Amino acid sequence: MSNWSPKILAIRIHALAATFNRSYHRATALHRPSGPPKLSPYDVNCILRANEHTQEFFGGSVKSYDSNQLASNSPIEDSRSEASCVYTSGLLVGIFDGHGGPACSQVISKRLMRYIAASLVPPDDLRQHMLGGAQSFSFLSCHNDKARTRSHAFRNVLPTDTNGLEFVSEIKELYEKSFNQFANELTNTTLAGFQMHQTLENAFIRLDQDLSREAIEMPSLRTMSVAMSGAVALVAHIDGPHLHVASVGDCSAVLGTVTDTGQWVAKKLTNEHNSDNVGEVRRLLSEHPATERDTVIRGERLLGQLAPLRAMGDFRYKWSREQLEQLVVPQFGEQVIAPYYLTPPYLSACPEITHHILTPRDKFLIIASDGLWDTMSAMQTVHLVGEHMYGKAFLSPLTLPKQDITLGEISQMLSTRKAGLQKKPLDRNAATHLIRNALGGTEYGVEHSKLSHMLSLPQDIVRLFRDDITITVIYFDSEYLRNCPT
């Protein structure tokens, strides 16, 4: 996530790029007369496709999804998670963009989905599952949960059969205790009072409260690393025609819809919670005295420091001054307390929630961290994925129908395929296709030299040119949506 406002970031990038280019060209002129080294197309493809994944489904409103990640930070501060609910019929897909380190985003990418999945189970059924010894991970069937992470909470991880990698035992016990307490409280609610908006909101807020309580009651390197870092989060829940998107921060979700005339329309389902959002700024100012009007947001940042105005973790902007002085200052120093820190909390983990009823015209949903949206508009991404959907059909060999077919019909099929081959994409995975265009796209198409340059920037300056990028593209089954009840 960007740590500067767009204007300041642009100025710094321009200055640093000029300095880097001067130094780079001087060095290459002295030591590499043949010119700067470039990545080959093969090298570029290896980098872009290293973390891609495609998951297909049979039955239901979701046909498949494509996901991918490209790191800028080392280690990457983005996380992602996709899982089917075991005891209900929903699919959960999430993007988590960390800041101040990867710990918070990695932890909530696992825990938040579990809190939501348990919240969706009817109370009586949930009570039976808990009495039967269900643990937090048993509420989800995770997809593509393979990648080892570097957070303190994940070191020496324990592999499981169906849910990828688990937390270290010390942290797992603490997290399971928090989950069990939350789940047991859910069993005392009534099914008649179920509201999806309230359920999602409660899961976000409760997990954030648990992260705070765990760090206060059991302060350690692991719990404090999660508490002192933070993450914005976006989670989509899809069940039949019902799509709910819950978001805190500046990840975005965009729905790709096609009109009667075949034109693509981009429908944005989220709002960024930052200083560019006038309503969000008004909300924040209303929660603090008028005397703090000029200090709550300074330089387009919360207390002059944090870009998102909603996030999970980041308890240096939520705890009281007394708590910070007692728990945090001895380890991190006085500078951990922001200037003008007078009436906390300043940061909220309450999500903004959108409900959309899917129709056969809704073809796909794109969710991504701001590393993508820094370079592309919602409409650009929808056009790219829409064109990719059409062109991807030509990546497979031509197959003739089983019934009788005339030579004229075969000729027409071949003509159509010849025209379509011109639009054949390089990548089967739509998330990879978006990353390729985000980094190498020009008005004339993807330029290899630009893409090669963006992927070969030295680690000490790459963060100035691009952020971590995490993307998931979810495809809907139009035929299912055409026939299913709402």
Q: What is the DSSP string of 176-194?
A: HHHHHHHHHHHTTS-GGG-
Query: Does residue 158 surpass a pLDDT of 50?
Result: no
Report the percentage of the chain scoring pLDDT > 90. 75
Strands 62-70 and 78-85: what pairing?
unpaired
Mind listing the pLDDT tens digit for each residue in 168-201? 777 899 999 999 999 999 998 876 678 999 999 9
Cα-based angle 173, 176, 179 (whole degrees, multiple of 5): 155
pLDDT at 408: 74
Give the start-to-end residue ranges of the domains of the chain.
41-145+166-483
What's the token pair of residue 369?
């961290």
Name which of 4-8, 114-118, 170-174, 303-307 the model is least confident about.
Answer: 4-8
pLDDT over 60 at 396, yes or no: no
> For the segment 121-138, what is each residue's pLDDT rounded down to a tens digit?
999 999 999 999 999 999
Give the span between the Cα atoms of 385 and 108, in whole angstroms: 28
d(CA 232, CA 249): 5
User: Does residue 437 carry a pLDDT above 80?
Assistant: yes
Question: Distance (Å, rounded) from C-alpha 480 to C-alpha 59?
Answer: 8
Q: If you search the block for the tokens 């270290």, which residue do you land on?
A: 168
Question: What phi, psi does 485 have (nearest 5°)?
Answer: -75, 150
Measure Cα distances from 99 to 167, 213, 315 in Å: 21, 20, 13
pLDDT tier for residue 443 given thresholds of 50, 70 and 90: confident
DSSP letter assigned to residue 136: G
- Residue-wise pLDDT for 318-332, tens only, equals 999 999 999 999 999
Q: How high is the pLDDT of residue 485?
A: 84
Round the CA-based radius of gyration of the chain to a whole number and report it: 24
Task: Round to whole Å and give the CA distance between 212 and 316.
Answer: 10
Q: Which of 145, 6, 96, 43 is CA-nearest to residue 455?
A: 43
Residue 378 tokens, joined:
């919602």
Asked if 425 and 392 count as a contact pair (C-beta separation under 8 A), the reply is: yes
Between CA 117 and CA 108 the distance in angstroms is 14
What pLDDT score does 411 carry? 73
Section 144-158 average pLDDT: 47
Of the ranges 51-55, 163-167, 388-392, which one carries the lowest mean pLDDT score?
Answer: 163-167
SS3 string, 443-476, reads CCEECHHHHHHHHCCCHHHHCCCCCCEEEEEEEE
Residue 473, CA distances (Å) to 82, 288, 429 in order: 11, 39, 9
pLDDT tens-digit series, residues 108-125: 999 999 999 999 999 999
Q: What pLDDT sits at residue 151?
A: 42
Paired with 47 in beta bridges are none
The span from the CA of 351 to the CA of 278, in Å, is 17
The pTM of the full predicted model, rounded to 2 decimals, is 0.85
Strand 362-368 to 297-298 pairing: unpaired
- The residues facing 69 across adjacent strands are 470
CB atoms within 10 A of CB 103: 28
Q: Can you give the pLDDT at residue 374?
A: 95
Cis ω on the peptide bond leading into residue 41 (within 30° of 0)?
no
- Model confidence at 444, in pLDDT bands (50, 70, 90)? confident
pLDDT band at 391 (very low <50, low <70, confident <90, very high): confident
How is residue 183 written in tokens? 């789940």
pLDDT-derived band at 340, boundaries 50, 70, 90 = very high
Fold of 41-145+166-483: Phosphatase 2c; domain 1 (3.60.40)
